[in-house]
Amino acid sequence: MNLIFRFQRCLSSKSSDRLRTIYDACMKIERYPLDSGLLEGEDTPDNYLLAALKTEKTHIAYAALYRLEDSILIYAFVHPDYRRLHLFKSMVERIQKRYPHMRLDFAANEGSPAVLHMIESGQFLRQETQFLLTYNLKQFYKSENTCDKIISDNGSGKVSLNSSSGLSMKRTQDVEMLSTLHSRIFKDFPSRDISKIYIESMRSLEGIQPFIFEDGDKYPVGMCMLLTEGKQACLAAFGILPEYQDRGLGRSCLKLLCAMLIGKNLAEDLMVQVDGNNTAALKLYTSFGFTKRETFSTYSLSSSVKFEK
């Protein structure tokens, strides 16, 4: 079969619809983090998309490419009907040729047979592991029964619980405040400017809601980004400022978040993706009642592997 491989920056609406067909077909048999579809792609010099086409109008696979400082992060999706054609290998070969001096990383579900084969053959080396955790909000309703205690300021986007803690959460679009909080909470972001880029890219996603958590004195103590899709909500960038950690505020903020989701009928399940090395976060979520749904790992192409032309 003669296939067309094409690098592109911007997607037309028709092209995006064709890629959505591939993504939806993959979702029927596998689960990915909510933020890994990335069908539109950001129109920047560092981000590209490689599409595999059977004909000019028939997309059968694509790989979203995100250029980091010294590596290319790849999210690849191959339509289930075409997985015997070694399309992933063909796409990696072309990406490697385009970026000969960059390390190639890709994120994948560990249960994928193709991933297992590549690990066993030594083509890819595991770099880090993340867990997709899920929490059914019915559990919270039964255990806490606090949904009728939500106090919401009409039109302000602020939500609090009728409790003595004074803790509240407020929806905000203040990029400067969010960037400052993010850079102080997440030490793997080297500067406030990098945090600002992350915040702005997250805010561009459809369905995203940024929140800050405040104590009784209305001082910010933490933040989160909440993405709702259907009856599922995905929690991202959830954290507490270092000086307020180890006080149980993480659990209290989770309770407030769950109560808000139920009270406003926004979701039935809450998901979060956690770094496998983040033992504190894993302990918080599992003790709260989250269970492991999927395991995802990031792999790097072994430096000794050079695909044939």
Same domain, 17 and 61: yes
Same domain, 262 and 161: yes
Same domain, 72 and 145: no
Same domain, 196 and 63: no
Structural domain range at position 159: 133-295
Same domain, 176 and 286: yes
**Does 121 fall in a domain?**
no
**102 versus 307: which is more confidently predicted?**
102
Number of domains in the chain: 2
**Does 309 fall in a domain?**
no
Same domain, 139 and 268: yes
286, with CB counted inside 10 A (0-12, 13-18, 19+), is middle
Distance of alpha carbon 4 from alpha carbon 53, whole angstroms? 5
Q: Model confidence at 11, in pLDDT bands (50, 70, 90)? A: low
**Does 284 fall in a domain?**
yes
Least confident of 38-52, 127-141, 155-169: 38-52
**Does 279 fall in a domain?**
yes
Q: What would the mean pLDDT of 121-132 be, rounded to a whole number?
A: 78
CATH number at residue 46: 3.40.630.30
pLDDT at 252 over 50: yes
**280 versus 11: which is more confidently predicted?**
280
Instruction: Decide which of 109, 142, 158 is a domain's last residue.
Output: 109
Which residues contact residue 174 at a Cβ distance below 8 angstroms, ignoring those fewer than 6 apart? none
88, with CB counted inside 10 A (0-12, 13-18, 19+), is buried
Same domain, 59 and 98: yes
Same domain, 163 and 252: yes
Tell me how far CA of residue 154 lies from CA of 36, 151, 157, 215, 227, in angstroms: 34, 9, 7, 20, 22
**Does 220 fall in a domain?**
yes
Which is it for strands 168-171 and 158-161: parallel, antiparallel or unpaired?
A: antiparallel
Question: How is residue 178 written in tokens?
Answer: 């969010």
pLDDT at 26 over 50: yes
Q: Angle 279-288/249-263 helices, nearest 10 degrees?
A: 50
Distance of alpha carbon 141 from alpha carbon 132, whole angstroms? 22
Same domain, 69 and 163: no
Q: Model confidence at 112, in pLDDT bands (50, 70, 90)? A: low
pLDDT at 279 over 50: yes
